[in-house]
Structure 1
Amino acid sequence: MDYLLLAFIAICLSLAMTGAWTVQRETGASGWVDTIWSFAVGLGGIGAATFADGAFDRRVAVITIIAAWSLRLGYHIGARTRGGGEDPRYAKLVEGWGDSAPWRLFVFLQVQALAAFILVLAVYLAAANTALYPRASDFIAILVAVIALGGEAISDVQLARFRKTPGAKTAVCEIGFWRYSRHPNYFFEWLGWCAWPLFALSVSPWSWLSPLAPALMYWLLVHVSGIPPLEEHMLRSRGETFRGLQIRVNAFFPGPRKPQSRQQGDLQ
């Protein structure tokens, strides 16, 4: 493992999130934080894969996938930030922090830099795999990545189209993938990070660190900064309409729709 390279990437990620903090303070638009984070993870992953000593063809596949993920997600969040208001999740945090918001946001973004490093580490371990390429696990990894990238992109397009319909500000999205998961974009985002342990699978003891990436992403999306604050916002803005959606549709993993009479506790 190239500790010097990883240390350099960790420092760069910290600096990137410091820059994101500065942009947020100057513009008041927290969406730029996630935009910068997406591009920072992508650049960190590309750099890590470029200088890893794994099989060349696997490194090319890794670089292609992480670059595609970063460009799509960063552009999507950036376009949404330009055309919309403040991200309700960050707005709630800043409101709750009060006068201490500036320094607490700075610390929060440095924690995001740490999370970004764990994700980049998984990309590095995938690219550092010296096993012959391709193997069955490589084909599966590519398939998982393609499904995840495509599914998340389609989910974002479906939601964007719904938001342009009359009455969208008081209704909930139940079209396409959104009929079977309340957050299909989050599900596909998590699924994409499941590809890296498949790429990294080898006899190296370090390869077993790569599952930390999907585990971390699941925890963040489902329990911390993804679903909980977003659903709290949706309950405030949509009320009983969103409560009905919580009863009918799974929160994260896509699945069959439930009858309205089912209890919400059975859905998670």
Structure 2
Amino acid sequence: MNALASGFAWGGFALNLAVSAGVAFAVLLVTFAVALRAGVHRIVDVAWGLAFAAVAVSSYGMSAGYGDGARRLLVTLLTVVWGLRLAGYLAWRGRGQGEDPRYERLLGRASGNRTWYAFRVVYLVQGALVWLVSLPVQAAAYETGPVSFLAWLGTALWLLGLTFETVGDHQLARFRADPANRGTLMDRGLWSWTRHPNYFGDFCVWWGIFLVACDAPAGAAATVVGPLAMSFLLIGGSGKALLERHMADRPGYAAYRARTSGFVPRPPRGRRERDGETGS
């Protein structure tokens, strides 16, 4: 069955998988070198978004002559805009700060050389995750059929997710910048509807990108592991679950947790009781 008949250019996609793996690991390798020079590994968080953008751009170039031009451009723009926004925000938030406590704890487990331990468990793992999560981006670039309603529905879901991320990050940054809020818990705006508006936004972004790749059933079946992996990371891995373990003992957090959705936004239960609530 040829690519036009199947709606998916399998030969080009297979080569793209290898190239995108090299691109993702190249970004993380450069980041590793920069982190060693700077003395902090938190820089890898900035590289997370940049690596996705790099994979999207390389897939766009590699898929020329294979996939539908409009879909190739659409999925590239969705991924690059998301990746650059995230990278820029994390770079701004981390400016002038020392090592992230998460990486301090992680590297504290090293039994040998901390540098190579960091390379293995942080940079190599993140490179592999970028490649895995970005499978729908790569697949969408090789679909030969025209953009359908399903792809535009995915774009709308992506926009919802990006809005939640951007607004939630902006609200939290303004809250933390106000000295009057020092020691209090952020439970306003989107943060009163969900304890994790940024993680919920990421969830919507990557399921939206997956829908853009769903016009060819074969491509969708081959790449659904991408948004599933991101969902696991956001909800049960290094996202929501890890942060809530860190916050569990903060005064007022139990009450905030009781009245506020843990992920999918909904109106808060009951009234806020600000007195005595502290946290970060």
* 1:123 aligns to 2:137 (yes or no): yes
Aligned partner (choices 235, 254, 274) of residue 222 of structure 1: 235
Q: 1:167, 1:136 → 2: CA distance?
A: 48
- Residue correspondence of structure 1 range 124-143 to structure 2 within 5 A: 124-133=138-147, 135-143=148-156
1:113/1:60 CA distance change after superposition, 3 Å: same
* 2:163 aligned partner: 150
- Residue correspondence of structure 1 range 75-94 to structure 2 within 5 A: 75-94=88-107
Could you state the TM-score of these two structures normalised by the residue count of structure 1? Answer: 0.87
Q: Is there any run of 5+ residues in structure 1 with no aligned partner, and where? A: 261-268
1:244/1:44 CA distance change after superposition, 3 Å: same
Letter in 1 for 2:171: Q
Letter in 1 for 2:209: W
1:205/1:16 CA distance change after superposition, 3 Å: same
Q: 2:97, 2:246 → 1: CA distance?
A: 16
Q: Is there any run of 5+ residues in structure 2 with no aligned partner, and where? A: 1-9, 272-280
* 1:264 aligned partner: none
Displacement of 1:116: 0.3
Q: Is the 8 A contact 1:55 1:130 kept in 2?
A: yes
Ranges of 4+ aligned residues in structure 1 off by more than 6 Å: none
1:246/1:79 CA distance change after superposition, 3 Å: same
Displacement of 1:258: 3.1
Give the fraction of aligned pairs with identical amino acids, expressed as a percent: 28
* 2:77 aligned partner: 64
Displacement of 1:179: 0.4
Aligned partner (choices 121, 124, 136) of residue 110 of structure 1: 124
Residue by residue over 1:109-136, the C-alpha shift from the partner in whole angstroms, topping out at 9 and shown as x without a partner, is 2111111001222101112121122x11
Structure 1 residues 94-103 or 108-117, which shifts more? 94-103
Q: 2:138, 2:181 → 1: CA distance?
A: 42
- Structure number with higher helix proportion: 1
Residue by residue over 1:71-104, the C-alpha shift from the partner in whole angstroms, topping out at 9 and shown as x without a partner, is 1111111111114443232222223436553233
Q: 1:169, 1:27 → 2: CA distance?
A: 29
Q: Is the 8 A contact 1:48 1:120 kept in 2?
A: no
Q: 1:146, 1:163 → 2: CA distance?
A: 26
Q: Is the 8 A contact 1:127 1:199 kept in 2?
A: no
1:159/1:85 CA distance change after superposition, 3 Å: farther
1:98/1:243 CA distance change after superposition, 3 Å: farther
> Which protein shows a greater Rg?
2
* 1:18 aligns to 2:29 (yes or no): yes
1:75/1:6 CA distance change after superposition, 3 Å: same
Residue by residue over 1:212-260, the C-alpha shift from the partner in whole angstroms, topping out at 9 and shown as x without a partner, is 2221111111111112332233345xx2222222222122221232359
Q: Is the 8 A contact 1:88 1:233 kept in 2?
A: no
Aligned partner (choices 38, 41, 48) of residue 52 of structure 2: 41
Displacement of 1:204: 4.7
1:252/1:91 CA distance change after superposition, 3 Å: farther
Could you state the TM-score of these two structures normalised by the residue count of structure 2? Answer: 0.84
Q: Is the 8 A contact 1:29 1:86 kept in 2?
A: yes
Displacement of 1:169: 4.1
Aligned pairs, number: 257
Q: 1:116, 1:191 → 2: CA distance?
A: 17
1:168/1:229 CA distance change after superposition, 3 Å: farther
Q: Is the 8 A contact 2:143 2:216 kept in 1?
A: no
* 1:266 aligned partner: none
* 2:3 aligned partner: none
* 1:265 aligned partner: none
* 1:187 aligns to 2:200 (yes or no): yes
Alignment RMSD: 2.0
Q: Is the 8 A contact 1:129 1:201 kept in 2?
A: no
* 2:218 aligned partner: 205
